[in-house]
Amino acid sequence: MTLPAPPTIRRLTYADLPQVIAIERRAFPTPWSLAMFVLELSKPAGVCLAALDAEGAIVGYCICSRYDTVWHIMNVSVSPERRRTGIATALLSTLLERVDEAEPRFTLEVRTSNDAAIALYERHGFRGAGLRRRYYQDNGEDAVIMWRTPATLRGTLDDIPNAVDPLRRAV
């Protein structure tokens, strides 16, 4: 099987939202509403990215908002039929490159059962540093709170207050 060409990554726009909503509904048991995407796109300090295939169709997206001194990755999604083809990696890599700060701090929540996403984030320097109990409304699943900071890039959780590695993995 030949893998598809790497996606083109560009800024997500309001015009992209019909395709984004279609992916969101297929990808998540409790999808975001159109209003949630509009709100995130309207924030001046956010970074919202779209991944396009060779035909120009959106196959993934990433929503990241800045809160004070921390970037919160709110949503990373890939069309279910295009998962495991490097799209999420391309989106995350582009996001990390576009945040033009000396030592940016990122955080996100991910389902404890989502091993593929956790592995993706760990490859990009994120480390589990806490747990949000019953975070997901659809089934009450816990979320791992992950951080990417100067310390996590050095292999510690030293610069994250009250950090506890919920995954019990070596850092």
Chosen domain end from 76, 101, 126: 101
User: 119: domain range?
Assistant: 104-171
Per-residue pLDDT of the chain (171 residues; tens, 9 = 90+): 566 678 999 999 999 999 999 999 999 988 999 999 999 999 998 999 999 999 999 999 999 999 989 999 999 999 999 998 899 999 999 999 999 888 899 999 999 999 999 999 999 999 999 999 999 988 889 999 999 999 999 999 999 988 887 766 544
Assess whether 44 and 77 both reside in one domain: yes
Assess whether 91 and 153 both reside in one domain: no
Cα distances (angstroms) measured from residue 159 to each of 27, 124, 142, 156, 163: 33, 17, 23, 8, 9
Residue 165 pLDDT: 79
Choose the catalytic residue: 109, 122, 135, 141: 109
Assess whether 95 and 109 both reside in one domain: no
14 catalytic? Reply is no
| Ordered DSSP codes for 90-129 | HHHHHHHHH---SS-EEEEEEETT-HHHHHHHHHTT-EEE
Assess whether 94 and 122 both reside in one domain: no
Residue 162 pLDDT: 85
Assess whether 151 and 91 both reside in one domain: no
Cβ–Cβ < 8 Å for 147, 129: yes
Burial category of 30 from C-beta neighbours within 10 Å (exposed 0-12, middle 13-18, buried 19 and up): exposed
Assess whether 38 and 95 both reside in one domain: yes
Burial category of 49 from C-beta neighbours within 10 Å (exposed 0-12, middle 13-18, buried 19 and up): buried
What length is written for the chain?
A: 171
Domain count, the chain: 2
Assess whether 35 and 82 both reside in one domain: yes
Residue 164 pLDDT: 84
Chosen domain end from 101, 132, 159: 101
Assess whether 65 and 111 both reside in one domain: no
Choose the catalytic residue: 24, 121, 122, 136: 121
81 catalytic? Reply is no
Cα distances (angstroms) measured from residue 41 to each of 53, 55, 77, 155: 21, 24, 16, 33
Residue 168 pLDDT: 63
Residue 112, domain CATH: 3.40.630.30
Residue 171 pLDDT: 43
